[in-house]
Structure 1
Amino acid sequence: MSASFDLGPPTRSARSLFLESQFYSSVQWPPQNTSLEGRVAIVTGSSSGLGLEASCQLLSLGLSSLIIAVRSTEKGEQVASKFRAEYPKSKIQVWSLEMESYDSIQAFAHRVEVEISRLDIAILNAGMQTANFSTTPSTGHEKLVQVNYLSTMLLGILLLPALKTKSPLGTPGRLSVVSSGTARGAKICTPKGMAVLPALDKPSSWHPVERYAVSKLLGHLFMVSLVQHVSADDVIINLVDPGLVKDTGLQGFAPLPVRIFFYCFKAVLGRKLSVGASTYVDAAVVKGKESHGCYVANWKISP
């Protein structure tokens, strides 16, 4: 199973866990001798926010090659040009990835198989929040569940063969999927006799804050199953929670009063962007096989 599962459920309230996370957790930066020379990484959703900052931190550790996987290649190229100027020894590529499209995800994974000879790290950061119920036309699934859960897990599965075979012998590939502590408070209620996904596709079950949490809970449940089929000797897989972080665009969807509230809320309680992104680097670079199948929050394996 996993060490997180063995820990059992948290015994303290969500509020207590949140406050400890934001105010009483010590930042764990990578050891000073950490070097990513020769390594290749993919970071999805890396044109802004946590994905961009995590990419920058990987490059600062000597990462040899970075694939910026983004919806807008124009924005991706703007980021890449800055990275190329700052890290001239690193190879920076921008690849198109639309998380609402299975075709785009499959094409991206095929490109990984065909075009690159090495892959060490994949950080699946791309995600979304929205204020209104909508479905993805090509699948019929509610959009938050589609992007944050179904598409993210599909991409992770499709990258596993490359992470296994294109990483050096004896050094497992690394797959870190971005999650959220909101999953701990999520509830899934379905009408009697109805499966979970069809129930979540109905507007009557919709609430934006609750649905975001549910989309992350589904990822936790999926992880428990996935790691039973993947050896940590081949690929180390974990979930990583950056905590509440300032200067991200996750609430950019909301009406102005809600955006103002979250801006003030995060200004008081949020972590700096660099601190939030350091959790990604910790999970994908520093943590070892002990984190396989685990939920990594506050730089440690958590329930």
Structure 2
Amino acid sequence: MTAAPTRISTPFGEFSTADEVAEGIDLSGRRAVVTGASSGIGVETARTLASHGAQVTMAVRNTEAGEKVAADIRAGAPDARVEVRPLELGDRASVAAFVDGWSGPLDLLVNNAGVMALPSLELTADGLETQFATNHLGHFALTTGLHRALAAADGARVVSVSSAAHLRCPVLFDDLAFSFVPYDPFLAYGQSKTANVLLAVEATRRWADDGITANAVMPGGIATGLQRHVDMEALTRARREAGASDVLKTTEQGAATSVLLATSPLLEGVGGRYFEDCGEATVIGSRSESDGRHGVAAYALDPENAARLWTVSAALLGR
């Protein structure tokens, strides 16, 4: 019987900042892509990577907002190398254009962008539920499209930004678009966040020989534009009832685990795992084992689920 891998801990914790986890790390010569880098924790992720020497491409829907963030990063770090490129994850043509426009190796890919808890069921032109199409399928298309660039780098890393919301719902393989299951904003969001974890699991398995590792991250509770469709008072009450802390992180703290996974020597060669508060999460078998904010569901790390989702996703993209 193969022993379970040792759970990884680090010197950092829940309220560490992105700058703290990257202290002393030189990213000169490394190239990074951060999706959703014009707002929220994406801004701090891009800022930290650039301030430590990485050449950062900010892949954003709103390029005007992205350019303002890039200018702010350069103002704080004059030597920072940042550029802005358009990317609409829900638009296959936009993803394809981004991939086609990329040349050379890619060291770090942070799949950070997302939409959350759309109040009513919305379908894409392809008939897919919008959160699944954006949060998962768009990033799947981007990540697989950039595979050659990742493989051309020396030890490339992929960071898949998930959420504790994955504990609310596994991937509903037989009803991805909620044609039969009654639509619920957080079930749909949860499904997409489970898919984010499964992408990291299968990418690590498939691409190990290319030196590519992928991990998923729960950034923590942070008030950003992502929650624009959420009743924050109701969410706070629900967190309290579940026994979870209602203390929110700053964006600098929320970006810390993403930056840790992207940069830390402690994570070299580590893949297919889920991290929270700068450490690897405990695997749980039911929601009753969690306060709703901590832990990773066993189904989100299941290799059979991961392989199945990869196959389904490729088919949905017509590959």
Structure 2 distance, partners of 1:78, 1:203, is: 43
1:75 equivalent in structure 2 = 65
Report if the CA contact (8 A) 1:186-1:214 is conserved: yes
2:225 equivalent in structure 1 = 249
1:280 equivalent in structure 2 = 258
Mapping for residues 61-100 of structure 1, pairs under 5 Å: 61-63=52-54, 65-100=55-90
CA-based RMSD: 2.8
1:143 equivalent in structure 2 = 130
Q: Letter of the aligned partner of 1:178 in structure 2?
A: V
Q: Deviations over 1:226-258 (max 9, x none)?
A: 322111652121111101123x1121124xxx2
Structure 1 distance, partners of 2:59, 2:105, is: 16
Q: 197, 214, 224: which one pairs with 1:220?
A: 197
Structure 1 unpaired stretches of 5+: 9-23
1:104 equivalent in structure 2 = 94
Q: Letter of the aligned partner of 1:181 in structure 2?
A: A
1:19 equivalent in structure 2 = none
2:150 is aligned with 1:163: yes
1:294 equivalent in structure 2 = 273
Structure 1 distance, partners of 2:77, 2:15, is: 29
User: SS of 2:226's equivalent?
Assistant: coil
User: SS of 1:269's equivalent?
Assistant: coil
- TM-score with structure 2 length normalisation? 0.75
1:15 equivalent in structure 2 = none
Structure 1 distance, partners of 2:46, 2:187, is: 29
From the superposition, tell whether residues 203 and 118 of structure 1 become closer, same or farther in structure 2 (CA, over 3 Å). Answer: same
Tell me the percent identity.
28
Structure 1 distance, partners of 2:197, 2:221, is: 18
User: SS of 2:227's equivalent?
Assistant: coil
1:125 equivalent in structure 2 = 112
From the superposition, tell whether residues 268 and 79 of structure 1 become closer, same or farther in structure 2 (CA, over 3 Å). Answer: same
Q: Letter of the aligned partner of 1:131 in structure 2?
A: P
2:183 equivalent in structure 1 = 206
Q: Letter of the aligned partner of 2:148 in structure 1?
A: P
Structure 1 distance, partners of 2:159, 2:279, is: 14
From the superposition, tell whether residues 31 and 44 of structure 1 become closer, same or farther in structure 2 (CA, over 3 Å). Answer: closer
Structure 2 distance, partners of 1:176, 1:86, is: 25
From the superposition, tell whether residues 120 and 227 of structure 1 become closer, same or farther in structure 2 (CA, over 3 Å). Answer: closer
Q: Letter of the aligned partner of 1:136 in structure 2?
A: T
- TM-score with structure 1 length normalisation? 0.79
Structure 2 distance, partners of 1:106, 1:172, is: 24
Structure 1 distance, partners of 2:30, 2:203, is: 25
Aligned residue pairs: how many? 267
Deviation at 1:196, TM superposition (A): 3.6
Q: Letter of the aligned partner of 1:163 in structure 2?
A: L
Report if the CA contact (8 A) 1:172-1:232 is conserved: no
Deviation at 1:188, TM superposition (A): 5.4
Q: Deviations over 1:23-43 (max 9, x none)?
A: x84637326321112222111
